[in-house]
């Protein structure tokens, strides 16, 4: 009974691992098509630097607009001199232009103003430039952009991942504004120029105070802050992928007729099928480690082999349909169970399969001699 139960469970997990691998490939394709990771990263950084907590949102339109701004080429002839978030001076109502003095013979040209501090060429032009856009325009971040396969809106796409150290270095470079003599005071001045209610100042000011005027500590604090935010984004992406996996799993379950109830019944009752499936699952790799078209071909071959061995997978021509023989309710339940199981992801099922294989190799523990004698 132990061996029969374990082999049945191994067969079920093997089918779910293959199905999850197929659905994971489709889900990853959907994510790549809609640049899901890149847009989530962009929205997350915007929430950190530019969007007040009471106005935070994850709408597709905001990500699309930010993508357009961050992918614009940098105009090196026009750079922004005002720190982002700082309010430009507005003339008061009593400001009146002074009359021009009549030209006289003693008029002398005023001396030219001394040049200001060197501008950072990585900063974009435009009065509405945000911290997020400026950060993505920095060379350290632009170097992570990749070319598009189908350039519908731009030739390049934003990065799907930015290392924490790279983010911190780029943000510190924006705060430095060139090559000042005293970097710590320059960063402090840049933070002070940001509006007091701006999210960037709310986040950076306490980090700067905690660093105690140590530039390395400040950069490390920014890196840790960024990593914590990315952990939250990773959790949100995992939840999204689970929902998509469940949807794709339901389509695959119905389209390929992967009915978990029927599969369980067959594995439990048919020893020949159970033996073939278990040997294939324990001895083979079940397409783990394959990529792209190779993975799809491998999964197709494996599912075909399972069907040839007698597993109720696929729609055979001439076979009875669930809606014909009165088992539609059971079939729907089996498809839903398959979809729910697929949402756990391929790594979960392959890890479970590995543990079950080890358990099968070890076998059930025999009762010890001491226990037998004491019982006698």
- Structure token digits, residue 56: 């935070």
Per residue in 120-133, pLDDT (tens digit) is 333 333 333 588 88
- pLDDT of 156 higher than 80: no
Per residue in 56-114, pLDDT (tens digit) is 544 445 555 666 666 665 443 343 434 444 443 333 334 334 444 455 444 444 444 44
Per residue in 345-364, pLDDT (tens digit) is 999 999 999 999 888 877 65
Q: Quote the pLDDT of residue 133.
A: 87
Q: Quote the pLDDT of residue 359.
A: 85
Per residue in 133-143, pLDDT (tens digit) is 889 889 999 99
- Structure token digits, residue 183: 């970097």
- pLDDT of 300 higher than 90: no
Q: How confident is the model at residue 334 (pLDDT cuts 50, 70, 90)?
A: very high
- pLDDT of 177 higher than 60: yes
Q: How confident is the model at residue 3 (pLDDT cuts 50, 70, 90)?
A: confident
- pLDDT of 21 higher than 70: yes
Please state the pTM of the whole predicted model: 0.71
Q: How confident is the model at residue 213 (pLDDT cuts 50, 70, 90)?
A: confident
Q: How confident is the model at residue 230 (pLDDT cuts 50, 70, 90)?
A: very high
């Amino acid at each position: 009974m132990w061996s029969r139960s374990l082999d049945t469970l191994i067969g079920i997990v093997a089918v779910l691992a293959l199905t999850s691998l197929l659905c994971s490939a489709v889900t990853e394709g959907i994510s790549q098509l809609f640049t899901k990771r890149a847009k989530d990263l962009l929205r997350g950084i915007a929430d950190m630097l530019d969007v007040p907590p009471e106005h935070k949102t994850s709408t597709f339109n905001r990500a699309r607009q930010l993508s357009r701004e961050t992918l614009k080429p940098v105009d090196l002839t026009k750079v922004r001199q005002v720190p982002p978030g700082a309010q430009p001076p507005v003339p008061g109502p009593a400001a009146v232009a002074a009359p021009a003095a009549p030209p006289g013979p003693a008029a002398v040209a005023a001396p030219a103003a001394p040049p200001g501090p060197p501008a950072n060429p990585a900063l974009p032009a435009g009065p509405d430039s945000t911290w997020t856009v400026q950060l993505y325009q920095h060379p350290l971040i632009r170097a992570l952009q990749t070319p598009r396969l189908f350039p519908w809106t731009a030739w390049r796409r934003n990065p799907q991942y930015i290392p924490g150290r790279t983010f911190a270095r780029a943000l510190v470079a924006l705060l430095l504004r060139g090559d000042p003599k005293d970097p710590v005071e320059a960063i402090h001045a840049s933070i002070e120029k940001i509006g007091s209610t701006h999210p960037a100042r709310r986040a950076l000011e306490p980090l700067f105070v905690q660093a105690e005027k140590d530039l390395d500590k400040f950069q490390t604090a920014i890196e840790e802050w960024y990593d914590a935010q990315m952990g939250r984004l990773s959790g949100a992406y995992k939840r999204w992928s689970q929902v998509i996996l469940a949807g794709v799993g339901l389509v695959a379950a119905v389209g390929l007729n992967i009915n978990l109830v029927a599969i369980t019944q067959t594995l439990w009752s048919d020893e020949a099928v159970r033996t073939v499936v278990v040997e294939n699952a324990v001895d083979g790799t079940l397409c783990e480690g394959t990529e792209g078209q190779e993975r799809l071909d491998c999964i197709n071959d494996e599912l075909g082999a399972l069907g040839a061995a007698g597993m109720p997978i696929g729609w055979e021509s001439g076979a009875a349909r669930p809606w014909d023989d009165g088992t539609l309710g059971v079939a729907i339940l089996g498809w839903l169970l398959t979809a729910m199981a697929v949402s756990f992801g391929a790594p979960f099922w392959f890890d479970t399969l590995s543990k079950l294989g080890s358990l099968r190799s070890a076998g059930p523990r025999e009762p010890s001699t001491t226990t037998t004698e004491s019982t006698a």
